[in-house]
Amino acid sequence: MEPDLYGGKSSGGGKSTLLKDRHNNMSLEPHIPIEVIFENEDLIAINKPHGLLVHRSRIASDARTFALQLVRNLTGSHVYPAHRLDRKTSGVLLFSKSKKANVECQRLFRERLITKIYHAIVRGYTDEDGHIDYPLTDQNKSRSARTNYKSLRRFEIDIPSYKFQSSRYSLLEILPETGRYHQIRKHMAHIFHPIIGDRPHGCNKQNKLWKERFEMNRMMLHAVSLKFEYPKGNELYITAPYSQEFQDSLKILGHHGLE
């Protein structure tokens, strides 16, 4: 069953809504709204929009605004990114508010005690579920990489693709076991089901079709949720609603769908 992410919520005890009303829907810089989806004394999470870098990077010298900077401005204090999301990936992005909290979050991620779930729209019909065990090169070293997925929904639309009279797509739930650079993107390309809007790992013909036909050029990969215990014995479940672009893409697929 497809989860309802058009208005997600987060859980984890009475502290989960601390300062939420004060922060939600604020915009610290033009065209970059910051939506706080969880906050307590130690942690804060936002629904990162597509195109926003987590922090400064030499490989993206064109960027002038960063999630780390915006969250620091929002809270008025120093914060630490607990993990990373690609610039083109939207969804749950977690920050720690203290060095102590940061050390604990890094341990949880390192020991794989945090369950990360993503959703993606990919080319073609995937299997109902699958496991990808395919090493990836990270920092010039071949490293093990494992990704699980299951199909939530399939679409066939009345638009020709290649030699076919229609185009097929799948909405996937993806659970990475490891955290390599561009792991989900590379793994989906490896099994010939690239993510729509992905460059350079995606399908150029599909990306061109979506840009020209639907004026969509954003990558359809969304970090849906994080689930973990913090502190021990207190389970947190933080979810991020789909971005508007992700919602629009699903509507397009539904509108053009074939019976």
CA dist list (Å): 212 to 80, 97, 207: 39, 43, 9
Element (H, E) at 248: helix 244-255
- From 42, 179, 200, 27, select the one nearest 118 (Cα to Cα): 179
- From 155, 235, 135, select the one nearest 196 (Cα to Cα): 155
Band of the pLDDT at 161, cuts 50, 70, 90? Answer: confident
What mean pLDDT is predicted for residues 132-157? 95
Instruction: Give one word for 140, left, alpha or beta, with left for phi > 0 and alpha for psi -120 to 50.
Output: left
Q: Rounded distance, CA 68 to CA 48, Å?
A: 11
* Residues ≥6 apart with Cβ < 8 Å to 35: 24, 25, 46, 47
What mean pLDDT is predicted for residues 58-65? 61
Q: Where are the chain's structural domains?
A: 14-255
Contacts 24+ apart (CB under 8 A), 5-9: 5/119, 5/222, 5/224, 5/239, 5/240, 5/241, 5/242, 6/241, 6/242, 6/247, 7/241, 8/37, 8/224, 8/225, 8/239, 8/240, 8/241, 9/239
Q: Rounded distance, CA 37 to CA 146, Å?
A: 28
For 220-230, the pLDDT digits (tens) are 999 999 999 99
Does 9 have pLDDT greater than 50?
no
Element (H, E) at 184: helix 183-190
Band of the pLDDT at 17, cuts 50, 70, 90? Answer: very low
Does 164 have pLDDT greater than 60?
yes
Contact 129, 148 (CB under 8 A): yes
- From 107, 82, 105, select the one nearest 92 (Cα to Cα): 82
- CATH T-level fold of 14-255: Pseudouridine synthase (3.30.2350)
Band of the pLDDT at 140, cuts 50, 70, 90? Answer: confident
Mean predicted lDDT score pLDDT of the chain: 87
Q: Rounded distance, CA 74 to CA 28, Å?
A: 8
Q: Which residues are catalytic?
A: 86
CB 124: neighbour CB atoms within 10 A?
A: 16
Contact 47, 25 (CB under 8 A): no
CB 178: neighbour CB atoms within 10 A?
A: 15
What mean pLDDT is predicted for residues 27-52? 83
Comparing 27-36, 79-88, 165-174, which segment has the lowest mean pLDDT? 27-36
For 72-85, the pLDDT digits (tens) are 999 999 999 999 99
What mean pLDDT is predicted for residues 66-75? 91
